[in-house]
Chain A
Amino acid sequence: MIELRQLRKVYANGVVALDGVDLSVREGEILGVLGRSGAGKSTLLRCVNLLERPTSGTVTVDGRELSALGRGELRAARQRIGMIHQHFALLSSRTVAGNAAFPLEIAGVPRDQRAARVRELLELVGLADKAAAVPAQLSGGQKQRVGIARALAAGPSVLLSDEATSALDPATTQSILALLRRLNTELGLTILLITHEMQVVKSICDSVAIMSDGRIEEAGRITDLIATPGAALTREIFPLPEPAPPGTVTVTFAGQADEPVMSSLVRKFDVDVNVLGGSLEELRGAPVGRLRVRIEGKGAADALGYLTGLGLLVEVA
């Protein structure tokens, strides 16, 4: 749905914000871009709708190469790409309904159709009763709901989000994330989001891209990355002392986390299992865990084989 090819962005001051980025966002998925401050995340997102012109490389959204379009065509293409912002970017002089109607005015939708569509949108984001309020009268979470309603007004196939929950408290963040997930499943909306909060990735993302210094370090489906030895994502989600001390075994469980694997190991192979650290997380509702242990005893080698045979990711240091 979104294809970025060999994207480079060098700002006028010489900063190389993107240094050859390739990224694909599949139709209907939620992809989260993670990375430290200054990694180039916002630049990447702003290149998708060409708010920032890449120095070189191509941007293709929904089959159209945006980087090749003229001014008028680009405007039309942008109407099909929704965007939400960290500080909401609402028009303070307009009501909630007026804000949601804004993209429709731009698209030239007649007044009577606008009213009906706005009602539908506010219903969708749960703000039907706030239609006449102005943004200053709303909470942060409500403002972001207006931002979402506005972003969806023209019926986009793609939603871009730059730190859309960073200005919100944890509970409000969860409700906004739940809304995004619902829009993703109900409308088939493809979402590309930027975040610095691991919690956002854990609760709604299908895929993730980790950026540093203008490059994508690692990208893919979360379930695939978790099953890949040495994935940076796994280390981010389950922080354990790195590198692992020699002689230790790090086991990553996905799905099997509720089975008593370790105790059966002890019984079956007559080994001692010394747990050094670990944690259990929920990824989109499914339990995933990572455990660092030292396995001692004659059956240690067989025990490792058994763990691998169960389909667990076993990394021996």
Chain B
Amino acid sequence: MNFEELLPILAQSTGETLQMVAMATLLTAVFGLPLGVLLVTADRGGLTPAPAFKAVLGAVVNIGRSLPFIVLMVAVIPFTRLVTGTTIGTVAAVVPLTLGAVPFFARLVETALRGVDREVVEAAQAMGARRLAIVGKVLLPESLPGLVAGLTVTIVALIGYSAMAGAIGGGGLGDLAVRYGYQRFDTGVMIITVVLLIVIVQFVQSLGDLVARRLDKK
């Protein structure tokens, strides 16, 4: 295949990858952040102690974390159909991507929040702050650099997952690599997609590092 034929296909695949990752990232943040907060506040001695709830939540998160993505993707096909009405295409791929990334990100959020000095949380309690204010004005702002770093790692993981999702009909660069590079033995296409994925990952990681560093006032 010559370059002129390849270019629009590459552009489309890159667009699909970015779309999948962007949508999945947004949803992961929306669901993963509160989940991570709950993992911390539900601790015995946390802001809203609920040890039994926390144990269940932790177990669910661990199950989500231990399933290989490829298995998860297949396992949630009925759910994907329920949510999106289809099981192939970019939008359908967002469902397993999100389900795979939420537990991962939630653990990273948990770790970041645990890094907040206990004395600072207590100081806020001593001032008469509501629990919601402690989460919103202390825990989250104080751990923001860690949260950004966690989100960056999550996006990078999502880019990797998205290539896998692509292979079973999600589109994107992974799909391209498999269709042309593997099935048609077109090594050139394979190399180009790999390089593109590397560039995207590098860009995301550098940007994330930069933002996290800017936010860190310590």
Contacts and interface: CB of A to CB of B under 8 A. Distances in A.
A290 B36 CA distance: 61
A106 B133 contact: yes
A92 B217 contact: yes
B5 interface: no
B137 interface: yes
Nearest first, the 9 A-B pairs at minimum CB distance are A78-B128, A89-B123, A75-B128, A79-B128, A89-B119, A134-B217, A83-B126, A93-B141, A103-B127
B128 A85 contact: no
Interface of B: 117, 119-120, 122-130, 133, 137-138, 141-142, 144, 215, 217-218
B119 A92 contact: no
A231 interface: no
A105 B134 CA distance: 12
5 contacts: A78-B125, A91-B141, A102-B124, A136-B218, A160-B126
Contacts of B128: 74-79, 103, 106-107
A171 interface: no
A185 to B, nearest CB: 24
In this complex, the interface size class of chain A, counting residues with CB under 8 Å from chain B, is 20 to 34
Given A89-B123, A91-B120, A136-B217, 9 more contacts: A51-B125, A51-B126, A75-B128, A75-B129, A76-B128, A89-B119, A93-B144, A106-B128, A106-B130
- For the complex, would chain B's binding face be called helix, strand, loop or mixed by DSSP majority? helix
A106 B123 contact: no
Contacts, number: 64
B141 A83 contact: no
A89 B122 contact: yes
Contacts of A75: 128-130
Given A91-B142, A92-B142, A49 B217 contact: no
Nearest to B142: A93
A117 interface: no
A154 interface: yes
Interface in A152-186: 154, 160
A294 interface: no
A75 B127 CA distance: 7
Nearest to B133: A106
A81 interface: yes
Contacts of B138: 91
A85 B119 contact: yes
Contact of A102 (B117, B122, B137, B217): B137
Nearest to A72: B130
Nearest to B138: A91
Given A93-B141, A154-B127, A51 B217 contact: no
Given A91-B120, A92-B218, A102-B137, A49 B126 contact: yes
A85 B123 contact: yes
Contacts of B133: 105-106
A91 B136 CA distance: 13
A85 to B, nearest CB: 6
A160 B130 CA distance: 20
